Amino acid sequence: MTDTTSKKIDWTPNTALPVGKGATYQQSDATIGSDRLEIETTAWGEGDLRINGAEVAHVCDEASQLQAFQDLERAAETVENGAGKAKRDDADRVAESLRPRSGPSERRTLAMPTKPLIAVTDYVFPSLDPTMAALAHLDPEMHVAKSAAADDILAVARDADAILVTFAKLPAELIRQLNRCKAIGRFGIGVDNIDLHAAAEKGITVTYVPDYCVGEVSDHAMALLLALARKIPFSNKLVQSGCWELPPVAPIYRLDGRVLGLVGFGNIPRQLVPKAKAFGIRVVVHDPYVSQAELAAAGVEGVGFDRLLQIADFVSVHAPLTPTTRGLFNAETFRKMKPGALLVNTARGPLVDEVALVEALDTGQVGGAALDVVATEPLTGNSKLLGRDNVILTPHTAFYSEEALHDVQTKCASDVARVLSGEAPICPIKAL
């Protein structure tokens, strides 16, 4: 570049322009001598640096993008602000540093697709329309795994910018093979299927939907409690078989004045409290992570785990599944329970040792169980939980309502979109 002082400077920094489906890019350009320098960068952080319309470099991270902007700005300002030889030489040097080198291997190019790639491991929804609507402003490329097997997940997720997951397992060995993933969004509350430590090591943000299906699951837990306590499924079975008598269903006890013990006090059991109290049921809670002040504000009594087992007529499980809570309800736990107490589990199946539960049901130590979740799903046909009049089983449907399915997709996908756009997610979660 020569004779730069005789040329007009045309400098337009950071002008937002529309591109694609609602996305934007930032454009900065300058004319230095006979050369025109331009940078365009998309909303999700990639950009092109061009001289005279020819691409010089492709930048796809914030640091290299910022450096390119600074180089361009400095080249324009040195020519615009002074006519001295030193400044002209500096402008020449900066602009020259941005030119392509002779060898293709020296060209500063980082390959990145124009659209973000999002992989879906599995889903239980009729369609992914709410997800696509929440991601529309990114105009992403979506790939759905053929199955939840690790190889099928990696086939679509290895080079994905983000992953959306429902029940599929994302262990450490799989996460370590992800090349570009910035976010993993869980369609739900529990994240025991994701190795959070491995995700953190890879710099991947994990998000979830903590208020998903809170009303539905608390309704389901209350419905299971009522159905079990009032022996409704058993009564229906008797009538359907032609028996219209009271003695087979006796005894049934009044709900008013009974005690419900909640193991865990997250969002779901908190919504269960007023529903149980409406029947005159007293509620006690064991959760070592919730303060007595919080419990008092919710109108419940905090007790130790053993004390809860001793006094509760109904025990409803709402603990997260962790290495320390797996098998929490085992033979020793059942022996500590009030004889004939009823167990409700709408949390995670492996929280309950099913072999120990069957034994406790056989001896009458546990009077009945209502389970929406089991250790291995679907339940096997030879399970000893089947065929019992004092056991109610639902196929992991406590979460379900049409509204809940729409909400969880929208919230999960929106948070992943925030991460891909360089924003902070609303509901991130990290390993404890």
Q: Which helix (H) or strand (E) holds 16?
A: strand 12-19
Catalytic residue flag (residue 254): no
If phi > 0 it is left, if psi is from -120 to 50 it is alpha, else beta; for residue 351 that is: alpha
**Alpha-carbon separation of residue 27 from 13, 168, 191, 349, 407 (angstroms):** 7, 41, 40, 53, 36
Spot the catalytic one: 348, 359, 388, 423: 348
Structure tokens at 351: 């929280």
Neighbours of 172 (CB within 10 A): 15
Spot the catalytic one: 55, 62, 201, 377: 377
**Alpha-carbon separation of residue 84 from 30, 31, 78, 80 (angstroms):** 19, 18, 9, 11
Spot the catalytic one: 396, 402, 403, 418: 396
Q: Nearest Cα to 314, choosing from 233, 232, 224?
A: 224
Catalytic residue flag (residue 377): yes
3-state helix, strand, coil split of the chain in percent (to 5) is: 35, 20, 40
Q: What is the crossing angle of helices 214-229 and 267-277, to 10°?
A: 40
Question: Amino acid identity of 65?
Answer: Q
Catalytic residue flag (residue 348): yes
Residues catalogued as catalytic: 348, 377, 396
